[in-house]
Chains A and B, each alone.
Chain A
């Protein structure tokens, strides 16, 4: 269990290398369009990894991640446009506000077994979207809030900034997932009753994980608002949550790195299918059904496991995987 405290070297190296590749890609290929696509992909990566930390590890699926995203984005838009604060205030403000919503919804629902959490999150997101339309005097209704100032004017620099945030977020979540904390979350997924019998305050663990997850979803929301320079009620839509969940499932649920890969893969792939614009959400939902049936472990994480097994066997001359690989891969 020594490997628990530190990150798996090979994975983190691979993560860093791919991050660097992503950073230089637009410089090599050029074109402002690609920068835009990659920025959105990186933001989806932040959302997917924050979803995976709470829901992937504890097995409590959050069907309303869009709630935190929307709250973060609207916090950014509101502070920036209505209150006239500088754009950098958005980042801490969105995190705080989204965590508050996490506490508000997590406290009543995560104490209970059963599907209450999943359904309450779904309901809350649907209702928030309605409220944004109903209280249009403050939220701008269907139009949302326009004319948000950018955090960084240069698009390429902003992309690099978002990429850094994605890297740090992923590193933080990967570290948390490998720590004692992550171990307890996985144990909760395995058997709640046993954890309770072992004297662990499991409700506290679940609620705090939700708050952390919400904070980073909110941060991603603020980054998105400062990229689009506007926010709309569509951010709260259930399809946003489903898109993220599909990304996590494609990446491999509970693997932290996988969902980031899933997010990048799916965003780039759907950009390729841009001519089928209307069909995008349909493709996502059908893909989700297929994955649930045929590839419950996802696509990205199992492929990475194979590659790594090959690498380690060629380096060490032993084909055997370390036991910790199994523990993290199966979760």
Chain B
């Protein structure tokens, strides 16, 4: 039962990170190594707004998510867009951005761990297991936000524009879809999801400047297993990886959990590089 619940919470956070990561790749062909920075900035934003500015947490969370998605849009517009013609240029620039963010956080806040307040402090007993309310909230919020995103993409006009670009960027352009504006939108969504994940996971994970690295590693592993650019694939893979790590943590030892993602990535790349749902053309 513990495995079931904790696994679901881990998976939910991974899914929020991986969906944003794969979305911006699928639409703009941008592999965003600064994706983890959005997660870190979300957590730090919530920390600053609550403990320094003294705002209530819900307001702080909204402001932090909005701020990070604005940051994402600006980064995409100013730094990533001029280099989009070269995939390596994008990788270099986003990694450099990630390090600038990490170093700025380090220079402002130092390397010690910070506490992000939890939305709910109560523990809830589920099937004989005490689960912190914050974890359940994370699960619910993740589920709702991904469902909303899915409906947005499937049901709205803007969503169809996103889908159209991801299927064939050139054809979409000929149909008069303003691809640059869509990229900004997708970047905003992706950054907002990552920031939200950071705020939700902040209370039970460590908040410190280098926290952006592991999310990138996990998002990459998930996206490789699920198929680069496929949203259902990355949700499925997020759950596979989340549960695999939780099971390893409970059955073997927490030391081995980090190996799961790398092993999964390497095995997948050897045997089925396209991922579970990936298109063959993805590589």
Interface on A for B, CB 8 Å cutoff?
Answer: 59, 61, 63, 105, 107-109, 111-116, 118-120, 122-124, 126-127, 130-131, 134-135, 238-239, 242, 245, 278-279, 281-282, 284-286, 288-289, 292-293
Give Cα A247 to B106, complex, Å: 23
* CB-defined A-B contacts under 8 Å, sample of 13: A59-B88, A61-B88, A63-B95, A112-B273, A122-B216, A123-B220, A123-B265, A134-B255, A134-B258, A239-B99, A282-B100, A289-B93, A292-B92
Q: Are B255 and A293 in contact (CB under 8 A)?
A: no
- The chain B residue sitting closest to A288, CB to CB, is B96
Check if B129 is an interface residue, CB within 8 A of chain A: no
User: How many residues from B make CB contacts under 8 Å with A?
Assistant: 40
Question: Residues 26-69 of chain B: 1 if any A CB is under 8 Å from the residue's CB, otherwise 0?
Answer: 00000101000000000000000000000000000000000000
- The chain B residue sitting closest to A289, CB to CB, is B96
Selected interface stretch from B79-87, B154-162, B172-180, B242-250:
B79-87
Please indicate the chain B residues that have their CB under 8 angstroms from the CB of A120 in the complex.
Answer: 220, 265-266, 269
Please indicate the chain B residues that have their CB under 8 angstroms from the CB of A61 in the complex.
Answer: 88, 91-92
B142 CB to nearest A CB, Å: 23
- The chain A residue sitting closest to B253, CB to CB, is A134
Check if B214 is an interface residue, CB within 8 A of chain A: yes
A235 CB to nearest B CB, Å: 15
Please indicate the chain B residues that have their CB under 8 angstroms from the CB of A127 in the complex.
Answer: 217, 258-259, 261-262
Give Cα A208 to B93, complex, Å: 28
Please indicate the chain B residues that have their CB under 8 angstroms from the CB of A59 in the complex.
Answer: 88
Pick the residue among B93, B107, B269 that contacts A109 (CB under 8 A): B269
Question: Residues 240-283 of chain B: 1 if any A CB is under 8 Å from the residue's CB, otherwise 0?
Answer: 00000000000000010011011001100110010000000011
- The chain B residue sitting closest to A285, CB to CB, is B99
Give Cα A119 to B224, complex, Å: 10
Check if B13 is an interface residue, CB within 8 A of chain A: no
Check if B24 is an interface residue, CB within 8 A of chain A: no
Contacts A116-B283, A127-B262 given; does A285 touch B91 at CB 8 Å: no
